[in-house]
């Protein structure tokens, strides 16, 4: 087991308008694990992710991050949405620097780290560009770099590649895997793509129903490093079919 | 001809249109054969300008009005900004004060201004206060609109990074709201001149460009009225220009937002 782990204990969440999104969800994610969360839209995947990030306090139950309640911890997490969510008035470098700035580290002392990270996500030379000058895929790489720069132990991704074209999406998935293997980070990723979930994750959780509950927890025992060629194997196809069947 | 004019620098276009305007004005005066008290020509106005400039009345009253406009603008901003922040953060405060704020806008400032001169002992500060009141509402509205324009996901990003309230204000809310805030400031800057003027109008013992305007009208010095009007216009334009410059500086990043993609 590597770093922090996430534990949700009998989580139910009801929004202020009385709508119950999720009911009695329990799950644990071990340190360093890569977990994918799939399910129909509106089933409560984003809500679960926000609960893990400590953005919502659950109506019932407890969300623990490294044995601390998620909404109390001062430990920052990495967060990436479908939209890049970059601050348009900051350059690429300024955006990536934000998490460090919030921790009180100056741009000067972290400059080298940012440049190295930009290199890692394939954006060397774009430090001084503004978000509006980037393509969708590039902007999403910046968002990923920003989510990793402060070396969070937990990276939460909400359909991070959902707005990208198929080819860019595959490429970004491979890059994410490469980065995940380099860093001691636990990943929980919401995705709509079953192949993507199988190819990237150690485990795939399936959320179903209204209110949503976890109805399947499928371990993907494909060897690592995973490559795109694996998508053609019967083993891969078997996992994909099992997940497909688990989504009601 | 028009296409060639379009390619000229904007100051040249402005100069040409300005000369054309003066010419048309002079023509109207000449053809209509108007009396100087009804409609003075540009030349009469220029003459009068020279007179009041040299006898020191114009600089004096301009300075007085200007010294009301600037504090009026800043005090207006200083009150409207925190209240706008509170309004957008607290639904309770919004419910509490919104009806009064909106109702207050239905009352014309010219109706309240005489009251203020009764209530505020200092004639100077009562005029500043009128400017403050006029500036207050548009700034407030824009602060609220600016803060509402911040996307929820960006707040969530800052919360996930465990940013403090102050950091959220300084690094997210302020820069995100700035474009709308500055638009409000432009409106406020020009309105502050009107506010100060109204304050000067309603005081029996007054000073400033408003006072000069009223006196000139009573004395049928229509050319002096024109001098004051032009001075007021220039003052409002200057303030607007300063805010525009500030906007250009603070929102430099926006030039990239409209630029080409890589
Ligand atoms: N703040 C909120 N208040 C009320 N209902 C909400 C709120 N946020 C989300 N919902 C509702 O909760 C359900 C689940 O939303 P979400 O977690 O975004 O689903 P998913 O990410 O799986 O598509 C949806 O029906 C949505 O309309
Ligand atoms: Mg969602």
Q: Give the separation between CA B136 and CA A199, rounded to whole angstroms.
A: 58
B32 occurs within a structural domain: no
**A237 in ligand 1 pocket by Cβ < 6 Å?**
no
Quote the domain boundaries for residue B193: 42-257
> Which secondary structure element, helix H or strand E, spans residue B127, and what is its range?
helix B123-148
Specify whether the CB–CB gap between B262 and A129 falls below 8 A: yes
B29 occurs within a structural domain: no
Cβ neighbourhood burial of B103 (10 Å; 0-12, 13-18, 19+): exposed
Phi, psi (deg, nearest 5) at residue B158:
-65, -40
Cβ neighbourhood burial of A144 (10 Å; 0-12, 13-18, 19+): buried
> Which secondary structure element, helix H or strand E, spans residue A65, and what is its range?
strand A60-65
B18 occurs within a structural domain: no
Does the CB of A130 have a partner CB in chain B at under 8 Å?
yes
B63 occurs within a structural domain: yes
Instruction: Return all residues near A139 (Cβ < 8 A) that are at least 6 apart.
Output: A84, A86, A131
B217 occurs within a structural domain: yes
State pLDDT tens for residues A49-61: 999 999 999 999 9
ipTM of this complex? 0.93
Work out the pLDDT band at B260, boundaries 50, 70, 90: very low
CA A41 / ligand 2 centre spacing (Å): 7
Specify whether the CB–CB gap between B222 and B36 falls below 8 A: yes
Q: Give the separation between CA B196 and CA B131, rounded to whole angstroms.
A: 5
Residue A21: half-sphere exposure toward Cβ, Cα within 13 Å: 22
Domains defined for chain A, CATH in brackets: 4-75+153-246 (3.40.50.300), 87-151 (no CATH)
Which residues are in the CB-under-5-Å shell of ion ligand 2?
A 46
CA closest to A54 among chain B residues:
B160
CA A149 / ligand 2 centre spacing (Å): 24
Q: How many domains, chain B?
A: 1
State pLDDT tens for residues A178-196: 999 988 899 999 999 999 9
State pLDDT tens for residues B126-153: 999 999 999 999 999 999 999 999 999 9
**A191 in ligand 1 pocket by Cβ < 6 Å?**
no
State the pTM of this model: 0.87
Number of the ligand closest to the Cα of A37: 1
Does the CB of A150 have a partner CB in chain B at under 8 Å?
yes
Work out the pLDDT band at B4, boundaries 50, 70, 90: low
Does the CB of B161 have a partner CB in chain A at under 8 Å?
yes
> Which residue CA neighbors atom 6 of ligand 1 most closely?
A15
**A17 in ligand 1 pocket by Cβ < 6 Å?**
yes
B24 occurs within a structural domain: no
CATH number at residue B211: 1.10.3720.10
Residue A187: half-sphere exposure toward Cβ, Cα within 13 Å: 30
How many residues belong to chain A?
Answer: 248
B5 occurs within a structural domain: no
pLDDT of residue B261: 43
CA A56 / ligand 1 centre spacing (Å): 12
- Return the sign of the alpha-carbon dihedral for residues A170, A174, A177, A183: negative
B239 occurs within a structural domain: yes
pLDDT of residue A2: 44
Does the CB of B149 have a partner CB in chain A at under 8 Å?
no
Nearest Cα of chain A lies from the Cα of B59 at a distance, in angstroms, of: 42
């Amino acid at each position: 087991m590597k770093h922090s782990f996430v534990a949700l204990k009998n989580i139910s969440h009801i929004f202020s308008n009385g709508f119950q999104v999720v009911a009695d969800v329990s799950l644990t994610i071990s340190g360093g694990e890569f977990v994918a969360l799939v399910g129909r839209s509106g089933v409560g995947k984003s809500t679960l992710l926000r609960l893990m990030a400590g953005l919502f306090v659950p109506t019932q139950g407890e969300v623990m991050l490294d044995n601390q309640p998620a909404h109390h911890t001062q430990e920052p997490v990495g967060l990436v949405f479908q939209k890049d969510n970059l601050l348009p008035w900051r350059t690429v470098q300024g955006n990536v620097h934000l998490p460090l700035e919030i921790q009180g580290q100056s741009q000067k002392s972290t400059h080298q780290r940012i440049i190295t990270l930009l290199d890692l996500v394939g954006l060397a030379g774009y430090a001084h560009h503004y978000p509006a000058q980037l393509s969708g895929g590039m902007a999403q790489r910046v968002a990923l770099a920003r989510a990793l720069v402060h070396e969070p132990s937990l990276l939460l991704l909400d359909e991070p590649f959902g707005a990208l074209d198929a080819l860019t999406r595959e490429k970004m998935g491979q890059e994410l895997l490469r980065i995940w293997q380099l860093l001691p980070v636990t990943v929980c990723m919401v995705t709509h793509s079953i192949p993507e979930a199988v190819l990237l994750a150690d485990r795939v959780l399936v959320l179903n129903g209204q209110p949503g509950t976890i109805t399947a927890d499928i371990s993907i025992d494909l060897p690592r490093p995973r490559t795109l060629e694996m998508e053609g194997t019967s083993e891969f196809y078997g996992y994909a079919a099992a997940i497909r069947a688990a989504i009601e | 001809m028009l296409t060639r004019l379009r390619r000229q620098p904007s100051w040249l276009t402005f100069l040409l249109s300005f000369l054309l305007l003066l010419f048309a004005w002079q023509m109207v005066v000449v053809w209509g054969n108007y009396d100087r008290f009804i409609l003075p020509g540009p030349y009469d106005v220029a003459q009068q300008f020279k007179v009041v400039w040299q006898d020191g009345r114009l600089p004096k009253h301009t300075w007085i009005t200007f010294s009301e406009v600037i504090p009026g603008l800043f005090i207006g901003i200083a009150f409207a900004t925190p209240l706008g922040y509170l309004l957008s953060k607290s639904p309770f405060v919004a419910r509490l004060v919104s009806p009064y704020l909106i109702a207050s806008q239905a009352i014309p400032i010219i109706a309240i201004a005489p009251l203020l001169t009764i209530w505020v002992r200092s004639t100077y500060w009562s005029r500043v206060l009128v400017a403050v009141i006029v500036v207050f509402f548009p700034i407030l509205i824009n602060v609220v609109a600016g803060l509402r324009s911040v996307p929820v996901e960006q707040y969530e990003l800052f919360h996930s990074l465990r940013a403090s309230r102050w950091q959220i204000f300084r690094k997210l809310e302020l820069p995100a709201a700035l474009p709308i805030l500055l638009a409000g400031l432009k409106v406020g800057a020009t309105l502050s001149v009107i506010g100060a003027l109204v304050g000067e109008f309603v005081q029996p013992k007054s000073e400033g460009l408003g006072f000069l305007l009223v006196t000139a009208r009573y004395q049928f010095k229509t050319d002096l009225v024109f001098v004051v009007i032009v001075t007021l216009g220039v003052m409002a334009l200057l303030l607007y220009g300063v805010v525009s410059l500030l906007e250009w500086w603070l929102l430099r990043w926006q030039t990239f937002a409209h630029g080409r993609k890589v």
